[in-house]
């Protein structure tokens, strides 16, 4: 079911979403998530995998990379404004279709896709099972599902409760926005009137396996030696160290990463 608060939020932030989330050339959670998704898709055999669904395509930033690799791309999103931005951003490409629809009830036939990925969407839903079942319906047998989530145990997020308090306090939030715009030179931060879920990687894997997905790869991504928002100070230095920390993604220290990504196969 569509969440009107989520829909309104992304409609409101759509005008500068590309500029401040992806096109700044800065290392960020969003840019690293994009990179790991595209890298995994590019490893697929294009003779076997052609139809790709971006479930929650936003402004089309990841879909652009997919189209450049000659896949047939389908993008869906809850936000009309995001889809307008995606249509403009992808205007020079062919072989793609955009649709405004509910991710938990998608207007496609069974077994329609070879690859499905969804970035920054599942965290806004009330639970995982319904959307994972819907993805399973749409994936052909041996089709690939790629899902990044926010890691509940990440060192980067240890101040999240304090930040959420700030977001809900209008006076403090206004000051925080002033600093964000005038010191960090970033866009306005919009208040979110909904919860963003964080996942336990182990439990998330178990949920996927219970639905007859076979885990074929997993990794943690986006590391920082300093937690948010303190990593915004001297950001270039922390980013350089964070890049070196990326090698922890498949080690026992991977749980420090802010993101966790699972790649799995539909086996039934």
Average pLDDT over residues 177-198: 69
Residue located via tokens 């090698």? 247
Residue 154 to residues 28, 128, 137, Cα–Cα distance (Å): 15, 20, 32
Average pLDDT over residues 7-20: 65
Neighbours of 248 (CB within 10 A): 17
Q: What is the distance, to the nearest Å, from the Cα of residue 95 to the centroid of all Cα atoms in its chain?
A: 23
The rounded distance, in Å, linking the Cα atoms of 103 and 108 is 11
Burial (CB < 10 A; 0-12, 13-18, 19+), residue 1, is exposed
Residues 152-170, buried b or exposed e (16+ Cβ, 10 A)?
Answer: bbbbbbeebeeeeebbeee
- Give the pLDDT of residue 188: 61
For residue 155, which of 56, 75, 224 has the smallest C-alpha distance?
A: 224
Query: For position 44, what pLDDT does the model report?
Result: 86
pLDDT more than 90, % of the chain: 66
pLDDT score at 138: 97
Mind listing the pLDDT tens digit for each residue in 86-127? 999 999 998 899 999 999 999 999 999 999 999 999 999 989
Q: How much is the pTM?
A: 0.87
- Quick check: 193 pLDDT over 90? no
Correct CATH for 4-155+195-266 of 3.40.50.720, 3.40.50.1360, 3.40.50.150, 4.10.95.10: 3.40.50.150
Query: Average pLDDT, stretch 4-16?
Result: 66
Return the DSSP state at 111.
T
3-state secondary structure of 209: helix
Mind listing the pLDDT tens digit for each residue in 65-87?
999 999 999 999 999 999 999 99
pLDDT of 14 reads: 62
* pLDDT-derived band at 1, boundaries 50, 70, 90: very low
Q: To the nearest whole number, what is the mean pLDDT of the chain?
A: 88
Nearest 5°: CA angle at 182, between 179 and 187?
85
Specify the pLDDT at position 46.
83
Give yes or no for residue 165 having a pLDDT over 90.
no
Query: Residue 159 — pLDDT band, cuts 50, 70, 90?
Result: confident
- Give the tens place of pLDDT for each residue, 209-259: 999 999 999 999 999 999 988 888 888 999 999 999 999 999 999 999 999
* All structural domains of the chain with their residue ranges: 4-155+195-266
Query: Cα 206 to chain center, whole Å?
Result: 20
């Amino acid at each position: 079911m569509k969440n009107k608060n989520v829909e309104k939020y992304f409609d409101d932030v759509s005008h500068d979403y590309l500029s401040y989330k992806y096109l700044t050339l800065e290392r960020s959670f969003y840019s690293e998530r994009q990179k790991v998704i595209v890298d995994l898709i590019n490893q697929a055999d294009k003779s076997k995998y052609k139809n790709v669904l971006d479930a929650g395509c936003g402004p089309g930033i990841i879909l652009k990379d997919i189209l450049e690799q000659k896949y047939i791309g389908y993008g869906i999103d809850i936000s009309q404004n995001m889809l307008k931005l995606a249509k403009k951003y992808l205007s020079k490409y062919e072989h793609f279709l955009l649709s405004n629809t509910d991710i938990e009830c998608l207007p496609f036939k069974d077994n329609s896709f070879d690859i499905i990925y969804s970035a920054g969407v599942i965290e806004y839903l009330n639970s995982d099972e319904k959307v994972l079942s819907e993805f399973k319906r749409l994936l052909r047998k041996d089709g690939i599902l790629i899902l990044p989530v926010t890691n509940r145990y990440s060192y980067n997020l240890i101040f999240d409760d304090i930040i959420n308090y700030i977001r809900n306090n209008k006076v403090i939030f206004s000051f925080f926005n002033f600093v964000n715009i005038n010191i960090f030179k970033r866009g306005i931060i919009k208040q979110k009137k909904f919860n963003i879920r964080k996942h336990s990687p182990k439990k998330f894997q178990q949920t996927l396996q219970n639905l007859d997905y076979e885990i074929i790869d997993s990794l943690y991504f986006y590391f920082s030696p300093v937690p948010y928002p303190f990593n915004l100070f001297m950001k270039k230095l922390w980013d350089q160290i964070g890049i070196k920390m990326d090698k922890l993604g498949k080690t026992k220290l991977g749980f420090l990463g802010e993101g966790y990504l699972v790649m799995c196969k539909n086996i039934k």
